[in-house]
Amino acid sequence: MSPMNRLLAYSVFLLPLVTLAQKPASPAPQGTRATVVRETAIYLAPDTTAQKVGQMTPGREMVIVEHSGKWLRVFANTDVEEARDADVPLFGQESAPPPVSGWVQDKGVVTAATANGDVILLGDAATKETTASEPHSPARAALDARLLYRRVSDFFPQSPLAPESAWRAADIRWQLQKADTMSRPSAHEKENYLREQMDDDELKKIEKKYPHTKWADMAAFLHIDNKLCGDWQGSTKCPEKESELYEKYVAEHPESPKAPEALYSAIYRQCVLVDMYAANGDHKKSDGARASAKGLAGKLVSHWPQTDYAAKASALIYKLAEDIPIYGIDRE
């Protein structure tokens, strides 16, 4: 899925979390951490005819404190801080869902002791992530996917799937935040500090926990979003600064899966500067940007020839050679 498609897909999921009733008077007891892969009702007693006191959604955490046949007494939704800080709409007024104590059926419950549990959680998360990109998808699909990915890295930290799951959880959250941020009027301000910044704490944790890995490299790439201008408003300072950011990223993360995309982003901005400088009558700088774009494109085609970004860069260089404007097409 392309970044733009993901952005559009996730933007509709900034909805309030399901609230749970009956806040317990005491802190969560000790027990087995668990989650569910289906929506699960929480009952006051181990009986489906008993009063429902809440609803567990996929990926939410609970603590199992007692077994009774096919029933589990749980302290559910114990990740209150996670809900308050990371998973509610960033600009909403909703309070964090309070924890609730009750009984759930043991169907679809996954713990660290579940055989193949890491694969099960990642598989269900990946399914929901795909569903989130489809038209008319369930409103919670992206958020459920994020939380299920989180549980993989939380419950199975030694699993080879843990780093990928942690990255996917952080990436979904970033796209949710970005969709919200870019939907606001402040997103059109030229200066990046005039709009809300995406919270990058989770990205920093990935970089710290998995240093010198592709996951840390990809997390570092997302940081650039917070540094980009909104609307360039015809200012050369914006593409100049952004090109430097992307070139620096490639220099510092040459093996990153995001390196071709970053290099293309720098090339595009150099092509934009060719037109901007020319429109301002500064032909010396325009020629310099043209040379820079060609040099960077050569590097991209040489190092990552099979990527779409190499082909896209070649198309930009062709337009430069044909004197076809990249920015400000009315100039033609």
Kindly report the backbone phi and psi dihedral angles of residue 49, in degrees, each rounded to the nearest multiple of 5, phi listed first: -90, -5
Q: Please give the pLDDT value at position 329.
A: 60
What pTM did the predictor assign? 0.83
What's the fold here for domain 184-332? 1.25.40
Q: Please give the pLDDT value at position 97.
A: 57
Residue 251 parent element (H or E): helix 237-252
pLDDT tier for residue 87 given thresholds of 50, 70 and 90 = very low
Q: Please give the pLDDT value at position 99.
A: 79
**Tokens linked to 315:** 């198309």
For tokens 């549990």, the residue is 117
Summarised one tens digit per residue, pLDDT across range 200-244 is 999 999 999 999 999 999 999 999 999 999 999 999 999 999 999
Pairing of strands 40-43, 52-56: antiparallel
Summarised one tens digit per residue, pLDDT across range 20-59 is 333 444 555 689 999 999 999 999 999 999 999 999 999 9
Q: Please give the pLDDT value at position 30.
A: 84
Looking at residue 219, its amino acid is A
What's the distance, CA 233 to chain centroid? 28
d(CA 270, CA 332): 18
Alpha-carbon distances, residue 322 vs 105, 269, 271, 273, 326 (angstroms):
68, 18, 13, 16, 11
Residue 40 forms beta bridges with which residues?
Answer: 56
Q: Is the pLDDT of residue 301 over 80?
A: yes
Name the H helices within 183-236: 201-209, 214-223
Please tell me what DSSP assigns to residue 43: E
Q: How many CB atoms lie within 10 A of CB 265?
A: 22
Which of 29-33, 85-89, 275-279 tops mean pLDDT? 275-279
Summarised one tens digit per residue, pLDDT across range 91-132 is 333 345 567 899 999 999 999 999 999 999 999 999 999 999
3-state secondary structure at position 67: strand
Summarised one tens digit per residue, pLDDT across range 139-150 is 899 999 999 999
Residue that wins the pLDDT comparison between 82 and 66: 66
Average pLDDT over residues 69-80: 80
**Tokens linked to 9:** 């897909």
Residue 52 forms beta bridges with which residues?
Answer: 43
For tokens 């392309």, the residue is 2
137: left (phi over 0), alpha (psi -120 to 50) or beta: beta
Residue 300 parent element (H or E): helix 283-303
Q: Is the pLDDT of residue 162 over 80?
A: yes
Kindly report the backbone phi and psi dihedral angles of residue 3, in degrees, each rounded to the nearest multiple of 5, phi listed first: -55, -40
3-state secondary structure at position 144: helix
Q: Is the pLDDT of residue 291 over 60?
A: yes
The residues spanned by each domain of the chain are: 1-183, 184-332
Q: Please give the pLDDT value at position 306.
A: 96
d(CA 8, CA 228): 19
For tokens 């009702």, the residue is 41
d(CA 271, CA 275): 7
Closest CA to 250 of 269, 264, 270, 230: 264
